[in-house]
């Protein structure tokens, strides 16, 4: 219910969602050559699911959000049986509730993002692998679940390439854990990947299509090399900077940073992890970690998740050092396998409460459940980026002005605001429209008019802050002779926003 409410509170989709919907439109219309022509050089599983959902849901935006919502719900449906492999029903229910209400997971389950799809297949792979490890005495069932886990790894990696961390974790677990038929089990895990390599190589040789680049497998090798290259480049840049400042506050800081670049990367991961795990819930994970340390010899069944967490942590460190970009949703690589530690922490809390005088297991359960719900409710119930509602309003206003004759051409400078407005003006169009085609860099108002008429674009978006550094267009008054103002809005990120239309364009439009 909370996720449905959050879905309804979402005012505007993430800019990345616009690109996935573009790809979904290309898939639905059979224009396969357009898949990697709008900023994204790859295609994930998510646009295919959007195109499938659009067969049943008329709105492209709603289709994208419904895929995320369904996968987010599916993730919880997979999480509970995974937890039941380790804990009793009470602990499993409370841990599932905790994940159902974790704000970061709620937030991205309502948006047009591929993360929820990734989470579903990630946990599905974990569940299949754990079930396989508990059925080693039945070879056929064990191999079936192991093969299923490997297929889910492929689907998780197709959703987000980071899903490949599950592969080395699974292989290492097979090698290190007790059990027979290790070689045959390793081959079973690798079989889908070997088949993919064979199929991709055949397509490349026969048709010249690099399938590996389209699904980002070519980036795997780069992750072993580029972080070290970026690390050395950053250290060299810091060395040059602090040498120029000498003995000063900034110079001393830069010199210290030069020696502890790796520590700054750890700090970036930690700060984002605290927010992603959600501060009120962090004690459960910490308590579970402490209890695990005291029971590590008896909890050999945690080896698999420990390997996943270790591989994920190394990957996140490499990513930060390479790009210095880290967001909350990347921490899902650590958060999802940490579910067992959350469960262990909740189990310990329940046992402690139930041992208090006048407390029963039912009261302890209710107390923990109430804390989980009440701690997250304020954050989950608030509107998401409601200040950006102005952008869909402008796009919808432009569409109404041309009586929803699509596509709606809106020229403008490159900006996120322009991207959103072009998308929402054409949200109902089945034609893939890349916002790059609407970006203009003219040298004068006359050149802008000529360019718009050549591209059959009716509207022009003037953003105060985007135009202030240009060679012209500092004032909206410069456009009054050739354009007519159709609406005026304001946002703190862009300043004044004005939607102009070419003079004479409305005369060619039919009546509504």
Going from the C-alpha of 378 to that of each of 38, 101, 117, 278, the distances in angstroms are 37, 11, 26, 13
Structure confidence at residue 506 (pLDDT) = 55
Token representation of residue 355: 């041992």
Is residue 459 within 8 A of residue 486, CB to CB? The reply is yes
Is 80 exceeded by the pLDDT of residue 7? no
* Mean pLDDT of the residues in the chain: 89
Is 80 exceeded by the pLDDT of residue 216? no
Q: What is the pTM of this model?
A: 0.91
Is 90 exceeded by the pLDDT of residue 393? yes
> Please, is 30 exposed, middle or buried when counting C-beta atoms within 10 Å of its C-beta (0-12, 13-18, 19+)?
exposed
Is 90 exceeded by the pLDDT of residue 242? no
Q: What is the mean pLDDT of residues 124-134?
A: 94
316 vs 219, higher pLDDT: 316
Portion of the chain with pLDDT greater than 90, in percent = 53
Q: What is the mean pLDDT of residues 156-184?
A: 90
470 vs 421, higher pLDDT: 421
Structure confidence at residue 309 (pLDDT) = 95
Structure confidence at residue 507 (pLDDT) = 46
Range name among 8-17, 199-208, 338-347 with the lowest pLDDT average:
199-208
Structure confidence at residue 62 (pLDDT) = 93
Q: Strands 459-463 and 410-411, how do they pair? A: parallel
489 strand-pairing partners: 497
Q: What is the dihedral of CA 259, 264, 265, 266, to 10 degrees?
A: 110
Structure confidence at residue 505 (pLDDT) = 60
Q: What is the mean pLDDT of residues 178-200?
A: 88
Residue 39 falls in which region: left (phi positive, over 0), alpha (psi -120 to 50) or beta:
left
Q: Return d(Cα 43, Cα 31) in angstroms, integer.
A: 13
Is 60 exceeded by the pLDDT of residue 508? no
Q: Return d(Cα 22, Cα 60) in angstroms, integer.
A: 9
Is residue 133 within 8 A of residue 304, CB to CB? The reply is yes
Structure confidence at residue 304 (pLDDT) = 93
Structure confidence at residue 356 (pLDDT) = 87
Portion of the chain with pLDDT greater than 70, in percent = 97
Number of H helices, E strands in the chain: 23, 4
Is 60 exceeded by the pLDDT of residue 456? yes
Token representation of residue 334: 């650590």
Each residue of 275-291: pLDDT tens digit?
A: 999 999 999 999 999 99
Structure confidence at residue 298 (pLDDT) = 65
Token representation of residue 190: 């690798």
Best-predicted range by mean pLDDT (47-51, 205-209, 249-253, 445-449): 47-51
Please tell me whether residue 458 adopts helix, strand or coil conformation: coil
Is 90 exceeded by the pLDDT of residue 467? no
Structure confidence at residue 296 (pLDDT) = 64
Is 70 exceeded by the pLDDT of residue 65? yes
- Band of residue 510 on the pLDDT scale cut at 50, 70, 90: very low
Q: What is the mean pLDDT of residues 231-253?
A: 84
Each residue of 332-359: pLDDT tens digit?
A: 999 999 999 999 999 999 999 988 888 8
Range name among 295-304, 365-374, 426-435 with the lowest pLDDT average:
295-304
Structure confidence at residue 509 (pLDDT) = 41
Structure confidence at residue 503 (pLDDT) = 81
Is 80 exceeded by the pLDDT of residue 406? no
Within 10 Å of residue 429's Cβ, how many Cβ atoms? Answer: 16
For residue 407, whether the previous peptide bond is cis, meaning omega lies within 30 degrees of 0, is yes
Q: Return d(Cα 153, Cα 27) in angstroms, integer.
A: 24
Closest CA to 35 of 216, 207, 185: 216
Each residue of 356-370: pLDDT tens digit?
A: 888 889 999 999 999
Q: What is the mean pLDDT of residues 312-333?
A: 91
DSSP 328: G
Is 80 exceeded by the pLDDT of residue 439? yes
Is residue 42 within 8 A of residue 214, CB to CB? The reply is yes
Q: What is the mean pLDDT of residues 99-124?
A: 94
Q: Return d(Cα 503, Cα 486) in angstroms, integer.
A: 11
DSSP 412: B
Is residue 461 within 8 A of residue 411, CB to CB? The reply is yes
């Amino acid at each position: 219910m909370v996720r449905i409410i959050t879905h309804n509170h979402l005012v505007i989709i993430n800019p990345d969602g616009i690109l996935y919907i573009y790809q979904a439109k290309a898939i639905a219309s059979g224009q396969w050559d357009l898949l990697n022509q709008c900023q994204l050089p790859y295609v994930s599983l998510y646009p295919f699911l959007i195109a499938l959902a659009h067969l049943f849901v008329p709105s492209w935006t709603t289709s994208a959000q419904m895929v995320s919502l369904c996968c987010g719900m599916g993730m919880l449906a997979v999480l509970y049986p995974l937890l039941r492999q380790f804990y009793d029903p009470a602990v499993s229910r409370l841990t599932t509730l905790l994940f159902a209400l974790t704000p970061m997971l709620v937030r991205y389950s309502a948006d047009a993002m591929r993360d929820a799809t990734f989470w579903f297949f990630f946990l599905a792979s974990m569940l299949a692998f754990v079930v396989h490890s508990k059925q080693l005495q039945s070879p056929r069932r064990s191999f079936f679940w192991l093969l299923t886990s490997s297929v889910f790894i492929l689907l998780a990696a197709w959703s987000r390439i980071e899903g490949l961390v599950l592969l080395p974790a699974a292989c290492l677990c097979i090698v290190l854990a007790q059990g027979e038929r290790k070689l045959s089990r390793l081959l079973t895990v690798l079989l889908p990947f070997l088949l993919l390599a064979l199929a991709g190589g055949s397509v490349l040789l026969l048709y010249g299509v690099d399938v590996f680049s389209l699904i980002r497998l070519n980036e795997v090798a780069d992750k072993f090399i580029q972080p070290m290259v970026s690390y050395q480049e950053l250290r060299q840049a810091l060395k040059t900077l602090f040498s120029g400042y000498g003995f000063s506050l900034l110079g001393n800081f830069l010199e210290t940073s030069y020696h502890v670049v790796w520590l700054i990367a750890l700090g970036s991961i930690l700060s984002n992890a605290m927010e992603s795990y959600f501060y009120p819930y962090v004690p459960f994970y910490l308590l579970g970690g402490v209890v695990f340390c005291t029971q590590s010899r008896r909890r050999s069944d945690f080896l698999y998740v420990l390997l996943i967490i270790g591989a994920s942590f190394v990957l996140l460190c490499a990513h930060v050092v390479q790009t210095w970009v880290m967001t909350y949703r990347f921490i899902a690589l650590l958060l999802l396998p940490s579910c067992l530690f959350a469960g262990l922490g909740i189990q310990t809390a329940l046992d402690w409460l139930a041992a208090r005088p006048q407390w029963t297991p039912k009261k302890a359960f209710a107390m923990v459940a109430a804390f989980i719900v009440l701690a997250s409710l304020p954050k989950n119930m608030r509107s998401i980026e409601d200040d950006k509602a102005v952008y869909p309003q402008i796009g919808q206003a432009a569409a109404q002005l041309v009586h929803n004759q699509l596509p709606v051409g809106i020229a403008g400078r490159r900006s996120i605001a322009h991207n959103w407005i072009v998308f929402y003006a054409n949200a109902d169009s089945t034609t893939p429209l890349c916002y790059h085609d609407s970006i203009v860099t003219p040298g004068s108002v006359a050149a802008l008019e000529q360019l718009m008429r050549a591209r059959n674009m009716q509207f022009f978006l003037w953003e105060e802050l985007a135009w202030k550094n240009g060679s012209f267009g500092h004032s909206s008054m410069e456009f009054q002779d050739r354009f007519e103002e159709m609406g005026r809005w304001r946002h703190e990120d862009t300043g004044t926003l004005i939607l102009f239309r070419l003079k004479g364009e409305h005369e060619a439009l039919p009546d509504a």
